[in-house]
Amino acid sequence: ARATNDTVKLHRYLRWYRNHFFKHVLSEEVALELCWVMGCIELNPEETVYRQGEDPHYFYLLLSGEANIYTGNWNPCPQTGKPQRGDYVRPLSPGHYFGERALTTNGVQPRTVVCTTAVTLAVVNKTDYLRLLVDVVENEKKKKMDFICRLPPFQGISFMDMIDIVEVMSINKFGQGEELVTEGSP
């Protein structure tokens, strides 16, 4: 069983995470229950979280450190025997979550995730993810997908590209008269 002190720390982090990423759709009850079922793993730079084609076991939430997502061939190099990196897709930083697609489709991992620095990951096993989080994550993705499908620049792009966009997209609400962009700013 998890120590109460650890549960309090995880709950504090999940409250921050909920406020910044799930925009209050993760209830206090679900956040607290997640703290009890969630595990933490630490990995070193260059360690693989999972490889494309593997069976899914966990939903991952990156608490600290950075990782990269790759797709494609990971066959060993004929000369060295080390796995060759596939095509770079995008980076992951604290606050990103991943691994949910394979859990909800009963498929295999569609990509490979490799740590670029030492990382700490919160993990939720498949059973608990499906019981507690699947509706929250899928509803958030559906809102984002519905939104970008209505925007002319995104009409006509492939479904997989849309999913990639949704996975890195955040929704921000602005008040009336609030400045969104200043000319000349990056």
CA distances 108 to 12, 61, 102, Å, are 32, 19, 5
Predicted confidence band of residue 75 (pLDDT cuts 50, 70, 90):
low
Say which residues have a Cβ less than 8 Å from residue 84's Cβ, sequence separation at least 6.
73, 74, 75, 76, 77
Task: Return the DSSP state at 154.
Answer: G
- Rounded Cα–Cα distance for residues 18 and 45 (Å): 27
Beta strands in 94-150 (DSSP E): 97-98, 112-115, 119-125
pLDDT of residue 5: 66
Within 13 A of 137's CA, how many CA atoms are on the CB side? 19
pLDDT of residue 9: 67
In the chain, pLDDT over 70 holds for what percent of residues? 77
Cβ neighbours of 138 (radius 10 Å): 12
Three-class DSSP category at 17: helix
Mean per-residue pLDDT, 57-81:
84
pLDDT tens, position by position, 112-159: 999 999 999 989 899 888 887 777 777 777 888 888 888 888 888 888
Nearest to 121 by CA among 52, 63, 162, 174: 63
- Rounded Cα–Cα distance for residues 147 and 165 (Å): 12
Cβ neighbours of 160 (radius 10 Å): 10
Burial status of residue 174 (CB atoms within 10 A of its CB: 0-12, 13-18, 19 or more)? exposed
Cα of 100 vs its chain's centroid, Å: 8
CATH number of 40-168: 2.60.120.10
CA distances 168 to 45, 54, 55, Å, are 22, 23, 23
Q: Indicate if the pLDDT at residue 24 is higher than 70.
A: no
pLDDT tens, position by position, 159-183: 878 877 877 776 667 788 888 788 8
- Rounded Cα–Cα distance for residues 114 and 92 (Å): 10
Highest mean pLDDT (candidates 11-15, 93-97, 141-145): 93-97
pTM for this predicted structure:
0.64
Per domain, the residue ranges of the chain are: 1-37, 40-168
Say which residues have a Cβ less than 8 Å from residue 127's Cβ, sequence separation at least 6.
none
